[in-house]
């Protein structure tokens, strides 16, 4: 992909740069394999130890495996080239994956909470040592998997979803270890279902931001890391720009941002250097990789007349 400006159909090329996200395929493969194996171990020992905390965590880890698979699939689909019908390609699948993961976690929380409430009514003995050992293994597996996604969680909501799942799971496993120790010391069986409810609270707390941001992006909202007023001020500060209107910023995927805006420039038509400078400024300050700027040359009777130059740096993004 290349930066380029165009004036009534011409497309002189400027400097090029890639907007492709880092490949996390290996991280997803390792994470899925480790967590799927741990789900089997945790479920078996949860049944043997008669622990709802372990079974709850196993169910949650299974939902995480499904979530990792969804996120992994989305990163693959997002790389597919645009078509005549899908001019942005399938970049938006990463937003849908993040939303799907958030909803999946909320559903899992409901199932965990339901089982925990029933256990409060009829608590049963728990093998505390087994619980502690198995959950301790979970801390190591989830912590390592979270580390695999750490480098991409700030710039990609889809990767952030995978990262937050693993961080939360490591914390949850730590809670299970503490509960197992407390049961051994006190004999308080109600600590097991209580730990399950704490697990639910932790998951919901971590999921809320993912759900809110993914819904916003799915509706074409401004990405959470961008302040629209600052973008407007940046454009109004460009040489020759009198004012800005019809400003829109949205996410094409979880790591690519697009912008369209009308720039009123009464003093005349800018050259290609203006667009290159504007594109570089938007990318450097806000991470906006796909700007389209329409120039309006003059105003009359409160309206605008004359359409000048549009600028975009992705030929395939329309």
| Distance, CA of 123 to CA of 192 (rounded, Å) | 8
CATH 3.30.70.1350 domain span(s) along the chain: 223-317
| Distance, CA of 101 to CA of 81 (rounded, Å) | 24
Distance (Å) of CA 227 to CA 210, 223, 224, 234, 285: 18, 8, 8, 11, 11
What are the DSSP calls for the chain, one per residue? -EEEEESTT---EEEE---PPP--HHHHHHHHHHHHHHHHHHHHHHHHHT-HHHHHHHHHHHHHHHHHHHHHHHHHHTTSPP-SS-TTTTTTHHHHHHHHHHHHHHHHHHHHHHHHHHHHHS-----HHHHHHHHHHHHHHHHHHHHHHGGGTTT-HHHHHHHHHHHHHHHHHHHHHHHHHHHHHH--TTHHHHHHHHHHHHHHHHHHHHHHHHHHHHTTPPPTT--HHHHHHHHHTSTT--EEEEEEEEESSSS-EEEEEEEE-TT----HHHHHHHHHHHHHHH-EEEEEEEEEEEEETTEEEEE--EEES-GGG-
Residue 221 tokens read as: 């909202």
Residue pair 145/155 in contact by the 8 Å Cβ criterion: no
Q: pTM of the predicted model, to two decimals?
A: 0.70
* pLDDT exceeds 60 at position 8: no
**How many beta carbons lie within 10 A of that of residue 117, not counting itself?**
12
| Distance, CA of 317 to CA of 229 (rounded, Å) | 25
Identify the residue with better confidence: 19 or 264: 264
pLDDT of residue 122: 74
Which of these, 236, 210, 17, lies nearest to 95 by C-alpha position? Answer: 210
Mean pLDDT of the chain: 78
The predicted model gives 98-126 an average pLDDT of 79
pLDDT of residue 306: 45
Kindly state which CATH superfamily the domain 223-317 is placed in. Cation efflux protein, cytoplasmic domain (3.30.70.1350)
CATH 1.20.1510.10 domain span(s) along the chain: 25-218
Query: How would CATH label the architecture of 25-218?
Result: Up-down Bundle (1.20)
- pLDDT confidence bin for 6, thresholds 50/70/90: very low
The predicted model gives 111-135 an average pLDDT of 76
pLDDT of residue 299: 57
Which of these, 285, 269, 297, lies nearest to 237 by C-alpha position? Answer: 285
288-298 pLDDT tens trace: 988 999 988 76
- pLDDT confidence bin for 247, thresholds 50/70/90: very high
The predicted model gives 216-243 an average pLDDT of 91
* Range in 144-153, 239-248, 306-315 the model is least confident about: 306-315
Residue 297 tokens read as: 């040359």
pLDDT of residue 97: 87
């Amino acid at each position: 992909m290349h930066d380029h400006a165009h004036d009534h159909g011409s497309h002189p090329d400027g400097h090029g740069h890639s907007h492709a996200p880092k490949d996390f395929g290996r991280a997803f493969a390792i994470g899925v394999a480790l967590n799927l194996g741990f789900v089997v171990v945790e479920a078996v020992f949860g049944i043997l130890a008669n622990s709802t905390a372990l079974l709850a965590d196993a169910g949650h880890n299974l939902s995480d495996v499904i979530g990792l698979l969804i996120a992994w699939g989305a990163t693959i689909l997002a790389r597919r080239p645009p078509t005549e019908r899908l001019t942005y390609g399938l970049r938006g699948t990463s937003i849908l994956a993040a939303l799907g993961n958030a909803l999946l976690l909320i559903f899992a929380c409901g199932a965990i909470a339901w089982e925990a409430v029933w256990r409060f009514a009829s608590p049963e003995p728990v093998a505390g040592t087994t619980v502690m050992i198995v959950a301790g293994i979970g801390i190591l597996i989830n912590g390592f998997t979270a580390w695999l996604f750490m480098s991409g969680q700030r710039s990609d909501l889809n990767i952030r979803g995978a990262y937050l799942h693993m961080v939360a799971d490591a914390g949850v496993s730590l809670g299970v270890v503490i509960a197992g120790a407390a049961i051994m010391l006190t004999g308080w069986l109600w600590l097991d279902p209580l730990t399950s409810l704490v697990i639910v609270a932790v998951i919901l707390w971590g999921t809320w931001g993912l759900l809110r941001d993914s819904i916003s992006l799915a509706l074409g909202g401004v990405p959470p890391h961008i302040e629209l007023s600052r973008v407007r001020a940046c454009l109004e500060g460009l040489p020759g720009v009198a004012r800005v209107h019809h400003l829109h910023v949205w996410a094409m995927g979880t790591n690519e941002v697009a912008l369209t805006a009308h720039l009123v420039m009464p003093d005349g038509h800018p050259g290609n250097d203006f667009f290159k400078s504007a594109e570089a400024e938007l990318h450097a300050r806000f991470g906006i990789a796909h700007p389209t700027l329409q120039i309006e040359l003059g105003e009359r009777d409160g309206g605008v007349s004359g359409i000048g130059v549009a600028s975009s740096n992705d030929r395939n993004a329309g």
